Structure 1
């Protein structure tokens, strides 16, 4: 494909997929855990659960049946509207989605037995405040080595120049300072294969991996060369670095 073909795809993929990352076709090797399973493992069916940074609510809707009450928040009005639409389509009207800032949670103290957060910012002291005694907080975040070959190819990226584990260490420190006494963490660095250029472009367009991706014409030449250099039988190769923190009050 030519540079102009990749630019055309860039203009099309958002209209085709919207913000639905579930449509992206990607094969992963070396994933050490499944986030949804890590959450449902601590559910007994009697809890109230809060999802911080719920986005379109896709992950929360999969988990909601394992708890008594589920609430998802996001600071984007568009994301909350998408989440509510997804909730109606999933026939789960009892799952509430609210527009709210993670740094100022508008809930009474000790409102939830479980708080979760997947690849979104959170405020440790606010999580501790709304979490019931002996409650559990689970967060999965993007690690500093994520999409490292893409960042090297473009010469810029969301974690450029950062210490590999600085965010993980920062969150553990903040949770400890907020009063959590049992904090456990783990990480993995998996290989990912995106099936097509469209799948990779959707990721770059909607995730903050390469800042301002697509705004410069040169990005599409870099993308063309990256795909040529990293195309394999399984797909276009990159990596996913993730870390998981499970903390109890």
Structure 2
């Protein structure tokens, strides 16, 4: 299964809505879309890259004049449009588009956001107004580290910590963003039941081909036994946040 096929499968299943998972986090230092709203105005237009099922932007629709959410996955956009129909938001639109080519007028957006999705800094610089902001939250290389070590594989496993953050900062500065502020946290996560953790691993690329390799079940059972405590099954959530001014 290719990465695109994987994302289409997840989009059809739940649109990246993991709200049913019972998980406690300790040490999370920001709420990403809360940070986006801090830069918002009722007259602003927001571009959300990698919008998934649109759940996040539909919740903040009242803070903007218009929100346009894009995703490369057909199934994700189908889910987002279904969620839009169920909502009361009249100022949100979803389109299947690649972040590599942003087909919008120059300087059209006041703000742009990208949560756990890659982006093209040069394209963003074209469609953002001067003085506008781009905010992105990304998964750090050290995320879910004890899980990756247990399975001997995983998303960005073995890569140098901070490499992705440094690359994105360089790209944004080269594209003409005048200021780039960086933040990060490494929070503890506790999943209440094995089913909660298994759902996460089944619907994300954290452990590639989770459950399909011989021995995965035995590794999972050993991991749960070793990391189960009073609050649940412990792992970590490592994230970085970039706020760039155009």
Question: 2-side partners of 1:106 and 1:21: how far apart?
Answer: 30
Q: CA deviation at 1:89?
A: 1.3
Question: 2-side partners of 1:17 and 1:160: how far apart?
Answer: 26
Higher RCO (CA 8 Å, separation ≥ 6 residues) = 1
1:8 aligned residue: none
1:117 paired residue among 110, 114, 117: 114
Question: 2-side partners of 1:176 and 1:221: how far apart?
Answer: 46
- TM-score, with length taken from structure 1: 0.92
Q: Which runs of 4+ in 1 moved over 2 A?
A: 14-20
User: Tell me, which stretches of 5 or more residues in structure 1 are unaligned?
Assistant: 1-13
Question: 2-side partners of 1:89 and 1:156: how far apart?
Answer: 39
Conserved 8 A contact 2:49-2:70: yes
SS at match of 1:81: helix
2:143 aligned residue: 146
2:133 equivalent to 1:136: yes
2:58 equivalent to 1:61: yes
- TM-score, with length taken from structure 2: 0.93
Q: CA deviation at 1:62?
A: 1.4
User: Cα RMSD between the aligned structures?
Assistant: 1.7
1:25 aligned residue: 22
Conserved 8 A contact 1:102-1:123: yes
Q: How many residues align?
A: 237
Change in CA separation of 1:15 and 1:216 when aligned onto 2, cut-off 3 Å: farther
Change in CA separation of 1:100 and 1:16 when aligned onto 2, cut-off 3 Å: closer
SS at match of 1:85: helix
User: Tell me, which stretches of 5 or more residues in structure 2 are unaligned?
Assistant: 1-10
Conserved 8 A contact 1:57-1:86: yes
Q: CA deviation at 1:196?
A: 0.9
